[in-house]
Amino acid sequence: MTANAALGRHAARHGLEPGRLEAALEWQVTLWSGEMDDAGHRDWAAWLAAHPGNQRAWAEVERLAGRLGELPSDVARHSLKRSRRFSRRQALTLFGLAGAGALVARGGWVERAVADCRSGPGEQRDLTLPDGSSLKLNTASAVNLAFNGERRLRVLPGSEIALDSRGTGGGPLRLEMAEMALDAADSQVVLRDHGERLAVSVLAGRVRVLTGPGAIAASAAMGRAPRAATLLAGEAAWLSADGVRRVPLDRAAALDWTRGVMRADRLPLRDFLAELGRYRHGLLYCDDAVAERVVSGAFRVPDTDYALQSLAQALPVAVHYRTPWLVRVSAV
């Protein structure tokens, strides 16, 4: 059986056109790249809007991708590993446990050591970690925990989290992103992953930062040295593979989302919708004609429909719900 025969049968069973289903799968793969820009998102929206058949095909892909999303990634990572030769060693270095032979021999150590926390679009979560630290997840965020003697959180791309580890005892508390790591022991820190760079706000304590290749153990094993810096309470910074750029800390703004508020301070409408869109499934976008309209104010999240309603009252714009997951803002 060829792959395309399977696609054709699936399309037939669900009353879809095979070509559109294939295109929807291609869009899903593009969206998953972690590298899609504004133009790409608009192309996607245009494809969706072009034909009801595209929307039906997309809904089917979204349904199946949603089932995949039910898998906790810690379980998936360590039970779906393919090549033993590759994976076991890789998992070890990733978790900084290379050489821990006894743990490997026992089997299943990773599963015991890790847990998985995630929030969907429009969800926020409050969690207490095994060491007593408090962890808040903003919308569409995910972290994998490894608390087994060590304390380690892997922050997945696009996530926004607030971690308060004050008074939880000694030893490092590692936060890991791609090519970046923080030691946030005994501190209060908010961070948001913007893809190529990471925004960090230190509200209390001090945070040691490592950036560049070698920041996480897997690359360190290849002998590349990361760059280090320390951020103190009251400091904020952008971190990227290039290093650390310090910026003034706006304490209230950093914590806005933890109180269910999204604040806009003279934001172009395009940027405002991109920000608000994090709290929704699907796509929220606007016509070029209104993209530069300026939005200011405080909006309640994660209830974005109310925010959109307020927007339409404050500005001469109209909100069109093509489907619940495809919303366009235009001039009135």
Partner 1 sequence: MASTTLSNALNAHVGTLYRDHAQWLFGWLRGRLGGDQDDAADLLQDTYVRLIDTGRYPPPGEGRAFLTQIARGLVIDLHRRRRLESAYLEALAARPEEEAPSSERRALVLDILVRIDQALDRLPDKVSRAFLLSRFEGLTYHQVAERLGISHGAVRKYMLKATQACLLALDE
d(CA 297, CA 295): 7
Whole-number Å distance between alpha carbons of 180 and 227? 9
Angle (CA) 242 279 249, round 5° = 45
Q: State the minimum distance, in angstroms, from the CB of residue 130 to partner 1.
A: 7
In single-letter form, the type of residue at position 143 comes to V
Q: Under rule CB under 8 A, how many of the chain's residues touch partner 1?
A: 50
Q: What's the full length of the chain, in residues?
A: 332
231: phi then psi, degrees, rounded to nearest 5: -110, 135
Q: Is 2 in the site for partner 1 (CB under 8 A)?
A: no
Our finding on whether 59 is near partner 1 (CB under 8 A) is: no
Among 12, 46, 50, 76, interactor with partner 1 by CB under 8 A: 76
Helices (H), the chain: 3-13, 18-31, 38-50, 52-68, 73-79, 84-94, 101-106, 109-113, 217-220, 251-255, 269-277, 304-314
Q: Does residue 3 belong to the site contacting partner 1 (CB under 8 A)? A: yes
281 near partner 1 (CB under 8 A): no
Q: What DSSP letter does each residue of 58-118 carry, written as one string?
A: HHHHHHHHHHHTTS-HHHHHHHS---HHHHHHHHHHHTT-TT-HHHHHH--HHHHHEEEEE
Question: Binding to partner 1 by residue 28, rule CB under 8 A?
Answer: yes
Of 12, 19, 29, 101, the residue at the interface with partner 1 (CB under 8 A) is: 29
| Among the listed residues 83, 223, 266, 316, the single contact to partner 1 using CB under 8 A | 83
User: Smallest distance from the beta carbon of 254 to partner 1, in angstroms?
Assistant: 23
Work out whether 19 is an interface residue with partner 1 (CB under 8 A): no
Q: What angle do CA 118, 124, 129 make, to 5 degrees?
A: 60
Regarding 101 and contact with partner 1 (CB under 8 A), the answer is no
Of 3-11, 198-206, 227-235, 299-307, the window that binds partner 1 (rule: CB under 8 A) is: 3-11
105 in contact with partner 1 (CB under 8 A): no
Measured CA to CA, the distance from residue 18 to residue 126 in angstroms comes to 42
The span of 41-49, 80-88, 240-248, 304-312 binding partner 1 (CB under 8 A) equals 80-88
Using the rule CB under 8 A, which residue among 46, 71, 225, 331 binds partner 1? 71
Provide the residue type at 113 as one letter: A
**Rg of the chain taking only CA atoms, in angstroms:** 22
Q: Does 12 bind partner 1 (CB under 8 A)?
A: no
With CB under 8 A as the contact rule, the residue among 49, 178, 233, 261 that binds partner 1 is 178
Task: Give whichever of 207 and 218 is closer to partner 1, judged by the CB atom.
Answer: 218
Cβ of 189: how many Cβ atoms within 10 Å? 25
Query: Given the rule CB under 8 A, which residues bind partner 1?
Result: 3, 6-7, 10, 13, 25-26, 28-29, 32-35, 61, 64-65, 67-68, 70-83, 86, 108, 111-116, 128, 130, 142, 147-148, 154, 156-157, 178, 195
